[in-house]
């Protein structure tokens, strides 16, 4: 699984969402989007699930989180590459 | 995944907060008409019936109304969870609450018992229902955090304000409680709990989130986030015993908050011109000015002793008016300028997760509320605020204040309606494109 990263931590709303949407629109099958953000985008979560995406949020500090977003059908693939702490990227 | 159909962490439908926001300016427009038709006598004392109607029009009709709508959105964004059954609760509580505020304002002006009873019942039910829903979230479901703890204290304050308000209204109807008597302390506590406990602590708690989020400012210092709201809340309780001492500390605490606001705003990474920031700066400067006015020797307020060319007017009225208009109303207006376009934009954006091509329909965020129009509102607000201060010095100027107030809040109402119309027209476009 390939990782595509975006950093929205220094953007003002609604730019983070615009960046995330644009990145998701371009995300190929089998790829995972990694979003670096200052806070958890709570209201986005349910909308992601409704639209067929899955996510995993890693909270590092108060104002530093990593959000992994991938297609629900890629769940097994994501779990294969992510051990709960680190993501092992492959290009295959 | 959400199987039950209840959407707790999603934003509530946009029309729910918007109905609270749209109602706010209408109450101030009513207040402006009240000022216009009440004449000079309105400004002679805080106990004038029309003055009581005016202060409740501002505090309940505008400030609390907008804050109720904003909390519906803020809880899911900050705490990750919103109220249950948002449509039923927001619609019912909003309708009851609006009717209750109208009845309360008329009950002060006309002093009919049935109006007092109507206000008592409608406000208790409307605010009670809303509070029950919010308290359910704050007690049971939500994550911890400095802002959330502040929300809890603000909500407790609002419960106390409501209970004291019910007690005061019941007393006007002839019902008395054996262990409580009506005196100035009760009304002072009612007013202080409302202005400092409910509105003040909520604004302070919201600022911890809003400044870093919308303006990429650094977080407020940890000791401010942890202790400011709690200190204010404790001081409010001490007020009934050590009135002057605790009031002094309440002013100083707000002064500390003002200095922190200036510091945090100055440390922003992207110092783009922003009207909401101007509102925050105006609010902070107001808090510092209030400290000066509060700690001035009493002689400044006495005609024969004042070292100035004229004595300052009634201290209580002057300080309260400035606190409400230049601090509370300023912050709320600044927040509205930020969240009206943002909410419209973000609700539409979320629809694009299902169909990315819909992104093409969404206009630029500033099309929902242009920067120039927001800036015009800011200058109108400063002007009407100055005219308010002028009226307290010279009540015969009331027509100027009424007209400026009218213009400002009609303008705010137009901005809100335009923003909503654009939202619904884009939403319709997206619906049509999904169907085709």
Contact flag A42-B353 (C-beta cutoff 8 Å)? no
Q: Give contacts of B 183-242 with A, CB under 8 A.
A: 212-216, 219
User: Which residue carries 């019912």 as its tokens?
Assistant: B92
Q: Are B416 and B28 in contact (CB under 8 A)?
A: no
Quote the DSSP letter at residue B12.
P
Reported as a single tens digit per residue, the pLDDT across B42-82 is 998 888 999 999 999 999 999 999 999 999 998 888 888 88
Name which of B207-216, B290-299, B354-363 the model is least confident about. B354-363
Cβ contacts of B87 within 8 Å, gap of 6 or more: B12, B13, B16
Picking from B35-44, B58-67, B144-153, B326-335, which range would have the lowest pLDDT averaged per residue? B144-153
Please report which confidence band the pLDDT of residue B391 belongs to, taking 50, 70 and 90 as the band edges. Answer: very high
Q: How confident is the model at residue B117 (pLDDT cuts 50, 70, 90)?
A: very high
A interface with B, Cβ–Cβ below 8 Å? 10-14, 17-18, 21-22, 24-25, 38-40, 42-51, 53, 62-63
Nearest-neighbour CA in chain B from A90: distance (Å):
26
Q: Is the pTM of this model over 0.95?
A: no
A33 phi and psi, to 5 degrees? -95, 130
Q: What is d(CA A74, CA A87) in angstroms, rounded to the nearest whole number?
A: 14
Q: 3-class secondary structure for chain A?
A: CEEEEEECCCCCCCHHHHHHHHHHHHCCCCEEEEEEECCCCHHHHHHHHHCCEEEEEEEEECCEEEEEEEEHHHHHHHHHHECCCCECCCCC
Q: Report yes or no: B126 and B100 within 8 Å, Cβ to Cβ.
A: yes
How confident is residue A62, by pLDDT bands cut at 50, 70 and 90? low
Using one digit for the tens of pLDDT, what is the confidence trace for B231-264?
999 999 998 888 899 999 999 999 999 999 999 9
Residue A20 lies in a domain: yes
- The percent of residues above 70 in pLDDT, for chain A, comes to 95
Rounded mean pLDDT, B106-125: 97
Confidence of residue B175 (pLDDT cuts 50, 70, 90): confident
By CA distance, what is A46's nearest residue in B? B10
Give the DSSP letter string of B159-186: HHHHHHHHHHHHHHTT---TT----HHH
How does the average pLDDT of chain B come out, rounded?
92
Tokens 């204010």 locate to B232
Domain that holds residue A18: 2-81
Interhelix angle B275-295/B243-266, nearest 10 degrees: 150
Is the pLDDT at A58 greater than 80? The verdict is: yes
pLDDT at residue B143 in the model: 64
* Paired strand residues for A35: A6, A67
Q: Which of A3-17, B134-148, B202-216, B319-333 has the lowest average pLDDT?
A: B134-148
Q: Is the predicted pLDDT of residue B376 greater than 70, yes or no? A: yes
CA B156 to chain centre: 16
Q: What is the ipTM of this complex?
A: 0.80
**A90 occurs within a structural domain:** no
d(CA B214, CA B217): 8
Give chain A's domain count. 1
State CA B135 to chain mean position distance.
Answer: 19
Lowest mean pLDDT among B20-24, B123-127, B324-328, B365-369: B365-369
Q: Is B174 left (phi over 0), alpha (psi -120 to 50) or beta?
A: left
The pLDDT of residue B102 is 98
Does residue B3 have a pLDDT over 70? no
Average pLDDT, chain A: 87
Per-residue model confidence (pLDDT) at position B357: 85
Residue B354, pLDDT score: 79
Q: Are B380 and B406 in contact (CB under 8 A)?
A: no
Mean pLDDT value of segment B339-346:
92
Which chain B residue lies closest to A11 (C-alpha atoms)? B216
Using alpha carbons, select from A64, A5, A70, A69 the residue that is nearest to residue A37: A64
Are B149 and B138 spatial neighbours (Cβ–Cβ below 8 Å)?
A: no
Domain of A66: which CATH number? 3.30.110
Mean pLDDT over residues B372-386, rounded?
98
First to last CA, chain B: 29
Predicted pLDDT of residue B1 = 33
Contacts 24+ apart (CB under 8 A), A60-65: A62/B219, A63/A9, A63/A38, A63/A39, A63/B212, A63/B219, A64/A9, A64/A36, A64/A38, A65/A36, A65/A37, A65/A38, A65/A39, A65/A40
> Predicted confidence band at B434 (pLDDT cuts at 50, 70, 90)?
confident
Q: How far is A52 from chain B (nearest CA, A)?
A: 8
A88 in any annotated domain = no
Q: Which pLDDT value is given to residue B51? A: 96
Band the pLDDT of B432: cuts 50, 70, 90: confident
What does B271-334 look like in DSSP terms, one character per residue? ----HHHHHHHHHHHHHHHHHHHHHS-GGGGSTTT-SSSS----HHHHHHHHIIIIIIIHHHHH
Residue B181: pLDDT band (50, 70, 90) is low
DSSP-assigned beta bridge partners for residue A70: A54
Domain annotation covers residue A71: yes
Q: Does B6 score more than 60 pLDDT?
A: no
Q: pLDDT tens for residues B412-426?
A: 999 999 999 999 999
CB contacts < 8 A, A to B, total 70
**Residue-wise DSSP of B329-388:** IHHHHHHHHHHHHHHHHHHHHHHTTT-GGGGGG---HHHHS-HHHHHHHHHHHHHHHHHH
Q: Nearest 5°: phi and psi at B129?
A: -65, -45
Look-up of token digits 């929902």: B368
What is the percentage of chain B residues whose pLDDT exceeds 90?
73
Q: How far apart are CA B8 and CA B75, in angstroms?
A: 10
- Yes or no: say if B124 and B54 are a contact pair by the CB < 8 Å rule: no
Q: What is the pLDDT of residue B2?
A: 31
Interchain pair B213, A47: CB under 8 A:
no
Distances (CA, A) of B90 to B17, B118, B408, B413: 8, 20, 27, 20
pLDDT band at residue B142 under the 50/70/90 scheme: low
Residue range B308-315: mean pLDDT, rounded: 84
Q: What is the mean pLDDT of residues B330-342?
A: 95
Residue B105 has what pLDDT? 98
pLDDT at residue B338 greater than cutoff 80 = yes
Q: Has residue A56 been placed in a domain?
A: yes
Evaluate whether B279 touches B334 at the Cβ level (below 8 Å). Answer: yes
Chain-chain contact of A25 with B359 (C-beta, under 8 angstroms): yes
Helices and strands per DSSP (H, E), number in chain B: 16, 0
On whether the CB atoms of residues B208 and A59 are closer than 8 A, the answer is no
Nearest to B151 by CA among B164, B165, B137: B137
Mean pLDDT over A56-84 rounds to 86
B77 vs A contacts (CB less than 8 Å):
42-43
pLDDT band with cut points at 50, 70 and 90 for residue B185? confident
């Amino acid at each position: 699984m390939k990782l595509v990263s975006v950093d929205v931590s220094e953007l003002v709303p609604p730019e983070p969402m615009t960046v995330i949407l644009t990145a998701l629109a371009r995300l190929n099958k089998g790829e995972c989007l990694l979003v670096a953000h200052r806070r958890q985008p709570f209201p986005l979560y349910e909308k992601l699930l409704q639209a067929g995406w899955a996510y995993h949020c890693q909270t590092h500090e108060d104002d530093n989180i990593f959000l992994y977003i991938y297609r629900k059908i890629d769940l097994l693939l994501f779990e294969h590459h992510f051990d709960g702490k680190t993501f092992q990227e492959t290009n295959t | 995944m959400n199987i039950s159909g209840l959407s707790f962490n999603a934003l509530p439908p946009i029309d729910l907060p918007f109905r609270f926001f749209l109602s706010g300016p209408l109450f101030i427009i009513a207040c402006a008409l009240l000022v216009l038709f009440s004449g000079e006598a309105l400004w002679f004392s805080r106990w004038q019936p029309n003055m009581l109607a005016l202060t409740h029009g501002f505090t309940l009709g505008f400030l609390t109304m907008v804050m109720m709508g904003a909390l519906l959105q803020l809880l899911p964004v900050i705490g990750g969870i919103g109220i249950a059954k948002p449509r039923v609760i927001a619609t019912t509580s909003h309708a009851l609450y609006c009717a209750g505020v109208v009845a309360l304002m008329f009950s002060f002006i006309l002093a009919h018992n049935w109006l007092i009873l109507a206000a008592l019942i409608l406000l208790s039910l409307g605010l009670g229902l809303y509070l029950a829903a919010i308290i359910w979230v704050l007690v049971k479901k939500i994550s911890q955090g400095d802002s959330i703890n502040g929300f809890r204290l603000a909500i407790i304050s609002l419960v106390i304000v409501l209970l004291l308000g019910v007690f005061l209204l019941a007393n006007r109807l002839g019902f008395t409680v054996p262990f409580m008597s009506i005196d100035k302390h009760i009304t002072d506590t009612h007013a202080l709990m409302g202005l400092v406990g409910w509105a003040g602590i909520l604004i302070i708690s919201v600022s911890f989130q809003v400044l870093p989020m919308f303006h990429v400012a650094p977080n407020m210092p940890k000791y401010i986030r942890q202790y400011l709201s709690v200190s204010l809340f404790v001081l409010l309780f001490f007020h009934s015993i050590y009135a002057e001492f605790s009031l002094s500390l309440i002013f100083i605490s707000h002064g500390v908050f003002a200095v922190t606001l200036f510091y945090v705003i100055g440390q922003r990474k992207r110092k783009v011109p922003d009207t909401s920031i101007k509102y925050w700066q105006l609010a902070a400067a107001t808090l510092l000015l209030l400290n000066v006015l509060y700690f001035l020797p009493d002689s400044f307020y006495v005609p024969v002793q004042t070292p100035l060319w004229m004595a300052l007017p009634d201290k209580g009225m002057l300080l309260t008016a400035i606190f409400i208009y230049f601090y509370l109303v300023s912050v709320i207006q600044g927040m509205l300028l930020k969240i009206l376009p943002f909410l419209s934009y973000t609700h539409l954006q979320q629809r694009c997760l299902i169909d990315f091509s819909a992104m093409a329909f969404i206009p630029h965020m500033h099309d929902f509320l242009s920067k120039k129009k927001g800036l015009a509102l800011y200058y109108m607000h400063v002007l009407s605020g100055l005219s308010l201060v002028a009226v307290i010095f010279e009540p015969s100027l009331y027509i100027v204040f009424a007209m400026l107030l009218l213009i400002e809040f009609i303008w705010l109402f137009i901005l809100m309606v335009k923003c909503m119309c654009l939202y619904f027209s884009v939403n319709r476009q997206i619906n049509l494109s999904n169907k085709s």
